[in-house]
Amino acid sequence: MQMRQLFDRDSSTYSYLLWDKQNLEAVMIDPVLEQSERDIRLIEELGLVLRYSLETHIHADHITGGGLLRERFNCHVAVHGNAQVPCADVWLKQGDHVLFGDNALKVLYTPGHTDTDICYLAADRVFTGDTLLIRGSGRTDFQSGDAGKAFDSITGQLFVLPDRIRVYPAHDYNGMTTSTIGEEKRHNPRLGNNQTREGYMRIMSDMDLDKPQKIDLAVAGNQRCGISAAEGLVNQAGVIRE
Amino acid sequence: MQMRQLFDRDSSTYSYLLWDKQNLEAVMIDPVLEQSERDIRLIEELGLVLRYSLETHIHADHITGGGLLRERFNCHVAVHGNAQVPCADVWLKQGDHVLFGDNALKVLYTPGHTDTDICYLAADRVFTGDTLLIRGSGRTDFQSGDAGKAFDSITGQLFVLPDRIRVYPAHDYNGMTTSTIGEEKRHNPRLGNNQTREGYMRIMSDMDLDKPQKIDLAVAGNQRCGISAAEGLVNQAGVIRE
């Protein structure tokens, strides 16, 4: 499996372009609307056949580029079934496999940050969305967030993976690009040292974070896959494409 | 060879921590002073034995964390011999090898952006500093820059490598993290399509860029490895550590 990690500076979001070396079938995880021009150019330069645009969850901090990628490449837009997203083509659930070339991503349903969280597991790496961040984890105080469920997802579905598995999150705010399951089990300040469910819930409830500035616009935009057939492209300024 | 790519948002600089899986000997390429706390913590968490802090050149946009890493880990600070940097421990030249564990980085002297440019070549990847960027290249209008020499370095030392070799640059301003030699030969707008030396020199001389804001402070700070024995730590605000 070939991979390209891509960064959106404004929202500190990582997108991931994955492809099969032989037949060039590809998937994009968590594309960002504002980076669509860059991403489309890269996909074309590499000569890839984009099969899926995959969301790890319904984001509250940026709008997906999935709808635009579908317009350009005729790919399928996939989200978890819990997401009320009629614009999607595929609704994923625990245990599903996303196939591209000889590669498979296994869907792990990992609710907690939201009730739509998916981690995508490959042979040697896992794309953890906002479920598990590098030395951190996604907040659980909005969008059906639930710190107890988040703890269960992280410890029950991610920390049972081999230590060597690489962790690729949806965000990093400190310039880190990747980690491993072993590192997070040992060094994640919220989860390391055999943290208890109650201890984790206490940490998360004590965080007292501001509401994301763009949450209303972002969630609404993502429920339309970044595009409304009637209204056109939705950007983060709320401007509608002609 | 294990690798961790690290990003400094202010200067859009990539640093690279490389290590040997077996004996944990490590090198850091282009550490950034302001990220020293993050980098030191990561090196300690991973249990690495840092042997070298390697510069790809004398930077004009940020100050190195090399001196501080040496203070903490007793590693060697290495730069190209052309750099007038008395604080360094090792002066590298074309064809040298930097060894850590069972790994070797071969030194390619690639002048053009400055007269101190080094690319570090491993078996499957090359760390290209500012010599070759993703779909771009380092400016050549200050610090002994020379567009003709830059063209010779890129085409004579990098574009002769196999297409599959991964390119890891010192900067990216568009959220790209890596490329390949083949991609840059085909898609780099300054260098692709069999660009001529004259064509490249014309592009570079037409760029008309502003002088980097921090050049005087950064170059002076880097000539002291980010630390002056007499004066202490130099940061980008020009503040001296007590």
pLDDT by residue (tens digit) across A57-108?
999 889 999 999 999 999 999 999 999 888 999 999 999 999 999 999 999 9
B22 part of contact set with chain A, CB < 8 Å: no
Question: Who has greater pLDDT, B230 or B63?
Answer: B63
**Dihedral (CA of B112, B114, B118, B124) sign:** negative
Per-residue pLDDT of chain A (242 residues; tens, 9 = 90+): 999 999 999 999 999 999 999 999 999 999 999 999 999 999 999 999 999 999 999 998 899 999 999 999 999 999 999 998 889 999 999 999 999 999 999 999 999 999 999 999 999 999 999 999 999 999 999 888 999 999 999 999 999 999 999 999 999 999 999 999 999 999 999 998 889 999 999 999 999 888 888 888 898 889 888 985 444 555 444 433 33
pLDDT confidence tier of residue B240, bands split at 50, 70 and 90: very low
At A71, is the secondary structure helix, strand, or coil?
Answer: helix
Top pLDDT among A179 and B236 is at: A179
Per CB-CB distance under 8 Å, the chain A contacts of B178 are: 4-5
Give burial (CB, 10 Å; 0-12/13-18/19+) of B22: exposed
The pLDDT of residue B232 is 54
Q: Is A178 touching B (CB cutoff 8 A)?
A: yes
Cβ–Cβ under 8 Å, residues B153 and B117: yes
- Residues of chain A in contact with residue B5, where contact means CB-CB under 8 angstroms, are 177-178
Q: Which has the higher per-residue pLDDT, A90 or B143? A: A90
pLDDT value, residue A232: 53
Contact (CB, 8 A) for B59 and B225: no
Q: If you count residue pairs, one on A and one on B, with CB atoms under 8 Å apart, how many are there?
A: 47
Mean pLDDT of B136-152: 94
Angle, helix A66-73 to helix A36-45, in steps of 10 degrees: 40
The pLDDT value recorded for residue A3 is 98
Q: Do A177 and B45 touch (CB under 8 A)?
A: no
Please indicate if any CB of chain A lies within 8 Å of the CB of B9.
Answer: yes
Is the Cβ of B176 closer than 8 Å to some Cβ of chain A? Answer: yes
CB-based contact, A5 to chain B, within 8 Å: yes
Instruction: Output the pLDDT for position A233.
Output: 55
Closest residue, chain B, to A38 (C-alpha): B174
Q: Which residue from A175, A177, A178 is facing B8, i.e. has the nearest CB?
A: A175
Yes or no, beta carbons of B6 and A177 under 8 Å apart: yes
Contacts of B174 in chain A (CB under 8 A): 38
CB contact under 8 A, B6 and A175: yes
pLDDT digit string, tens, across residues A221-235: 898 889 854 445 554
Residues contacting residue B152 through CB under 8 Å, at least 6 positions apart: B112, B197
Which residues from chain B sit within 8 angstroms of residue A6, using beta carbons?
175-177
pLDDT one-digit tens code per residue, B8-61: 999 999 999 999 999 999 999 999 999 999 999 999 999 999 999 999 999 988
| C-beta separation of B31 from B16 below 8 A | no
Partner B contacted by A175 (CB < 8 A):
yes
Mean of pLDDT over chain A: 92
Core vs surface per residue A155-171: b (16+ CB within 10 A) or e? bebbbebeeebebbbbb
pTM of whole model > 0.90? yes
Q: What is the pLDDT of residue B228?
A: 56
Q: What are the chain A neighbours of B175 within 8 Å (beta carbons)?
A: 6-9, 35, 38
Non-local (6+) Cβ contacts of B213 within 8 A are none
Q: What pLDDT, on the 0 to 100 scale, is given for residue B237?
A: 42
Q: CB–CB of A5 and B174 under 8 A? A: no
Cα distance between residue A98 and residue A78, in whole Å:
10
In single-letter form, the type of residue at position B21 comes to K
Measure in Å the smallest separation between the Cα of A165 and chain B Cα atoms.
13
Q: Which residue of B has its CA nearest to A46?
A: B183
pLDDT band at B214 (very low <50, low <70, confident <90, very high): confident
DSSP one-letter string for B6-25? EEETTTTEEEEEEE-TTT-E
Average pLDDT in chain B? 92
pLDDT at B210: 87
Residue A168's H or E segment, with its range, is: strand A166-169
Residue carrying structure tokens 């960002």:
A32
Which pLDDT score, from 0 to 100, does residue B194 have? 87
